[in-house]
Chain A
Amino acid sequence: MKKLIKLLKDKELNYLNQINDFIDPTCIYLPKDNNYQVNDYIYKNTFINNIPSSISGKIAKIEKRKFNNEDIFCYQIINDFKENAKNKIRKKSPKNKEELMNYLDLFHLTEIINKINEKGNLNNIVVCAVDEECYSFNEFISLSNYYNEIITTLNHLLEICVINNGFIATKNTDSGSIKKVKSILGTYPNIKMKLLPDLYLISYEEYLCSYLNIKKEETLIFNTNEILILYNALFKNRVLNEKIITISGNNIAKSLIIKTRIGTPLKEIIDKFIEIKDNNYNIFINGIYVGYQVTSFSDVIISPSIHTIIINKLVIEEETECLNCGACFKICPVNINVKKCYFEKMLSKKCLGCGLCNYICPANLKLKEVIKDGAYEEKNN
């Protein structure tokens, strides 16, 4: 396993240590399925394409929008601000793992169910509250603000799955959340707090388990968002249709952490909260290294997988000839022959998509885009 590195922090970055609410969007967009048409009424928490509607209202039109970096047709649901919910899920809280799976299925939490099912013998559950890139504060803020809920849920999961080892892992630099978690941890003997060094990729399963000295195969890892989804399902009988997102970058006056509803157009949030310094900027979704770039805010919708929006000053990085320096090969955490894959246009299944090859490349080649995402196909077509 390769040694992890510390990425350089953006010195121009600053943020407010509080969550701003934006839970009253005028409309939301959800990916179109074939069950609804224009003018149909959508109740709150109705599942459309496995995503819960976060508002109630009528479908006004069907338009193309950018959802998870794909341009797809979406229903535009106009908010009637009535919060009409049709089917409130009422069922007894689960007592064992099997009941838990059935229970989570009611909330369409397929990803979490698959995650639990993937592991055979569980011995540890880890809540990893680590923000990889310096532009994201979601995990830190969530742990800091919802530490009670997170610890309660973790403890409940440990009881249901009959496991004795629960961990809350956070970076050793997040002093605010460390203090809060430690203040109540005494009442939960099965939960330990683990402090991790501020290194890039530390939250990746392999590295995290290695640092915590636990076996990967026996460990279930959740982030704080997943734990909050579970908290709402297990303790509140409700689907979590809100999300905490960070909007940061060196081209905005102040980075903000915003609680918003799934399906909200990003433009609405930007217009309300964000003061952009310069008109020339780059927009990155979910991180500079692991995420993707978009050209404007107007089409972007807050999907369940979006957690960070970065607005940075425009930097034009011209691609030059490969130097054959081998830095990409040296830095790759999974030892991919990056240069070979790039020039032979090979996709790599091993690729984590961490973006370190792009970060290190002095010739500014878009290596990750070719190796992980197969961007060459688009270029060739």
Chain B
Amino acid sequence: MKKKTTKDIVIINIILLIPLIIYGIFKNGYLLYERNLIPFYIIFKPLYLTIISILIKFFFDFITTKKINVNYNLLYMILISMIMPYNINILVYIITLIITYLLTSLLETKFKFNKVALIYLIIILINSIFNGLTFQNPLESTASFNFSFLDLLMGRCIGGISSTSIIFSLLAYTLLINSYYYKKDMPLFINISYLFLSFIFYLITHNSDILLNSELIFASIFIAPLPKYSPYKVKGQVIEGILIGIISFIISILFNKVISIYISIFLVSLLANLSLKKNN
């Protein structure tokens, strides 16, 4: 077994995210271009968002430390760019990301919370003022599709710009599961508790909309178990996982399926920190 540095772990995670970004370009770029819904240069919008995030991160690195660091902040920025809605305005994205990145970095010194989830929620809030709260791309908003289960697994669900591919998310999970650095129990319990509740909900109401939630799968695999914001003991991971699953389910029913997971991840990480502080 080879020792891994922080840089190695971050790079492995980024490599595992690449197929999802490529699928994002296919779903939210190529398919739209093919139907003449967008000009050619917009095909690569998912990639532009990722590059912008990386550049902002490196810019801050350069200002603060005069060198470029490959650390978890880089992964956070890439993840944020992947979960953005298709309708995000690039200018709004750049400005809000810079402000929220600075703000959360300051807040982080006082409170421990999932930074990725909070930045996402703030950007979504601001974007919804200008563009409304929608996660559909032009194709999804203009037509109605009857996708097969396999299509949905591949990523034809409604969600973030590069985060909808369930297959690639699960593939990444199976590769991460053997790593000593990955908190594998958390995604498992988030999904088990969410699926359990939504299945009961389906049995009662026959509403299958919330059963398959690609955003929940993506966020539970990549965002909830981020080491800094999640417990390292299995017991803690199980408790937090179940809590996130339950809260996500409730928010999915009452408010919005896509952002439910981010609200619950943020709330649980904040609550966990507050309860830890109280106990100490």
Contacts and interface: CB of A to CB of B under 8 A. Distances in A.
Q: Do A and B make up one complex?
A: yes
B14 to A, nearest CB: 15
A324 B233 CA distance: 10
B183 interface: yes
Contact of A360 (B3, B71, B230): B3
Interface in A3-48: 5-8
Interface of B is mostly: loop
Interface in A312-362: 320, 323-327, 329-331, 337, 339, 359-360, 362
Contacts of B8: 362
A360 B1 CA distance: 9
Contact of B180 (A330, A337, A363, A364): A330
Interface residues of A, number: 20
A362 B9 contact: yes
B280 to A, nearest CB: 11
Contacts of B279: none
Contacts of B2: 8
Contacts of B228: 323-324
B3 A339 contact: no
Contact of B227 (A8, A325, A364): A325
B181 A327 contact: yes
B269 to A, nearest CB: 12
> Nearest 6 CB-CB pairs, A to B?
A326-B232, A327-B180, A325-B227, A323-B227, A325-B181, A362-B6
A325 B3 contact: no
A363 B3 contact: no
25 contacts: A6-B1, A7-B1, A8-B1, A8-B2, A8-B3, A320-B6, A323-B181, A323-B227, A323-B228, A324-B230, A325-B9, A325-B181, A325-B183, A325-B232, A326-B227, A326-B232, A327-B181, A339-B232, A360-B180, A362-B3, A362-B5, A362-B9, A362-B181, A363-B6, A364-B5
A374 B181 CA distance: 26
B72 interface: yes
Interface string B5-42: 11011000000000000000000000000000000000
Contacts of B183: 325-326
A220 B66 CA distance: 59
Contact of A326 (B4, B9, B229, B233): B233
Interface of B: 1-6, 8-9, 71-72, 180-181, 183, 227-233
Interface of A: 5-8, 320, 323-327, 329-331, 337, 339, 359-360, 362-364
A252 B9 CA distance: 31
A287 to B, nearest CB: 15
A324 B2 CA distance: 19
Contacts, number: 51
Given A329-B232, A329-B233, A339-B232, A324 B180 contact: no
B182 to A, nearest CB: 8
Nearest to B5: A362
B3 A323 contact: no
B233 A5 contact: no
Given A320-B71, A326-B232, A362-B9, 5 more contacts: A8-B1, A323-B228, A325-B180, A325-B181, A362-B181
Nearest to B1: A5
Contact of A323 (B1, B72, B231): B72
Nearest to A364: B5
Contacts of B4: 362
B232 A324 contact: yes
Contacts of A362: 3-6, 8-9, 181
A6 B1 CA distance: 6
Given A7-B1, A8-B1, A329-B233, A323 B6 contact: yes
B180 A331 contact: yes
Contacts of A331: 180
Nearest to A337: B233
A359 B227 contact: no
A360 B5 CA distance: 9
A108 to B, nearest CB: 41
A368 to B, nearest CB: 14
Interface-centre pick from A6, A320, A329, A362 (highest chain B CB count, 10 A): A362
A291 to B, nearest CB: 17
Contacts of B229: 324
A306 B1 CA distance: 27
A196 to B, nearest CB: 18
A2 to B, nearest CB: 12
A22 B60 CA distance: 59
B3 A359 contact: yes
Interface-centre pick from A6, A320, A327 (highest chain B CB count, 10 A): A327
B184 to A, nearest CB: 10
B5 to A, nearest CB: 5
A342 to B, nearest CB: 12
A360 B6 CA distance: 11
A360 to B, nearest CB: 6
Nearest to A330: B180
A339 B232 CA distance: 10
